[in-house]
Amino acid sequence: MEELSQLGRYQLTRVLGRGAMGVVYEGIDPKLNRQIAVKTILKGHISDPELEAEYSARFIREAQAVARLNHPNIVTVFDFGEENDIAFIVMECIRGEELKTHFDEKHPFSLEDAVRMTGELLDALDYAHQNGIVHRDIKPANVMLDGQNRVKLTDFGVARLSDTNTERTQAGTMVGTPSYMSPEQIEGSAVGPRSDIFAVGIILYQFLTGEKPFHAQGMWAIQKKIMQEDPVLPSVMNPALSPAFDAVVLRALAKKPDDRYPTALDFKKDLQRALAGEALEDLDATRMVIRPRPQSNAIQQPGEGSSTRNTVPP
């Protein structure tokens, strides 16, 4: 896709990232003298007219969904439109990095920061869910951290306005990113707010242990583990953690949606209780598999290094 310098009234100054279907630019809104990010999708690259219509509709759905949301932990959408064969969304420009980058680089977070950032992500989802929107693609690449490591949730491209009666997507349709999908997403069946909660459970596990909870070679093998297996207890991977964190993760990663936290706020409350040292005897973590942690996965313990706080790897 050829680099652009202008879309509508928006001046595009540099490329922030590229994908298979389009480019994300940094730019300026000259009317408001405001820095912006502009996400584009080139519809002309899609040869199938039906697929082109689907991608275009999904792109506009992202703009419409997020434009309804006004929350400090959700990237703000200012405008959207189409010009020739390019659809675009104009949004808040975040100075920071994806959480995925921190995870990939094995950046250590304090336990307090891990809980805070997971809590901010849950705050964003609780607000979205209360407004009838299910994200359906929660993953570290869609979680931005600004200069103060504050969470900004982005990319509602597969978001769905939730039906409070059925909370269903189209039967047989699998939407999301395989490593962060809930069992019901893999099945292509009912999808609702608790599907997002499952994905946050995976991110929390990464915060606490430095590893994803479901390891396998290939997409289908990973999905089989998600469907059929429980992960190693976080406290086995990181002995600095209390059993309360095991209990919180277990409930978030329950195979059946009804066994998970009913709301993102409930999830956050128990996570904060675990950080405060409460035993969480009302939750049961005994069902999770206990296996030795990999020898190659070094976990920083309290007191190691220069930090005096409990630290966990990403």
Write down the pLDDT at residue 160. Answer: 64
Which residue from 161, 139, 147, 129 is spatially nearest to 65, judged by alpha carbons?
Answer: 161
Token readout for 286 is: 């005994």
Write down the pLDDT at residue 264. Answer: 99
| Total count of residues recorded for the chain | 314
Write down the pLDDT at residue 3. Answer: 86
AA letter at 96: G
A 10 A CB-CB count for 304 gives 12
Q: How far is CA 263 from the centre of its chain?
A: 16
AA letter at 106: K
Write down the pLDDT at residue 45. Answer: 64
**Are 125 and 264 contacting, i.e. CB atoms less than 8 angstroms apart?**
yes
Write down the pLDDT at residue 299. Answer: 35
The domain 6-92 is placed in CATH, from the list 3.30.200.20, 3.40.30.10, 3.40.1160.10, 1.10.1200.10, at 3.30.200.20
Q: Is 210 left (phi over 0), alpha (psi -120 to 50) or beta?
A: left
Label residue 162 by pLDDT band (50, 70, 90): low
The residue behind tokens 């994803």 is 212
AA letter at 115: V
What integer best gives the mean pLDDT of the chain? 84
The domain 96-312 is placed in CATH, from the list 1.10.3720.10, 3.90.1150.10, 3.40.50.2000, 1.10.510.10, at 1.10.510.10
Model confidence at 165: pLDDT above 70: no
What is residue 191's DSSP assignment?
A: -
Label residue 82 by pLDDT band (50, 70, 90): confident
Provide the Cα torsion 50, 48, 24, 264; round to 10°.
Answer: 40
Q: For residues 213 and 229, what is the distance between their CA atoms, to the nearest angstrom? A: 10
Check for a shared fold between 6-92 and 96-312.
Answer: no
Percent of the chain with pLDDT over 90: 59
Residue 230 is a catalytic residue:
no
Model confidence at 180: pLDDT above 50: yes
Token readout for 102 is: 């921190």
Which residue from 38, 34, 41, 49 is spatially nearest to 20, judged by alpha carbons?
Answer: 41
Token readout for 282 is: 């009302």
241: which strand partners?
Answer: none
Model confidence at 138: pLDDT above 50: yes
Q: For residues 44 and 64, what is the distance between their CA atoms, to the nearest angstrom? A: 22
Q: For residues 40 and 109, what is the distance between their CA atoms, to the nearest angstrom? A: 33
The domain segmentation of the chain, as residue ranges, is 6-92, 96-312
Write down the pLDDT at residue 307. Answer: 38
Kindly tell me the sign of the dihedral angle through the C-alpha atoms of 51, 91, 197, 296: positive
The catalytically annotated residue of 123, 137, 196, 270 is: 137
pLDDT in tens, 114-125: 999 999 999 999
More confident residue, 178 or 245: 245
pLDDT in tens, 48-74: 778 777 777 777 776 787 788 999 999
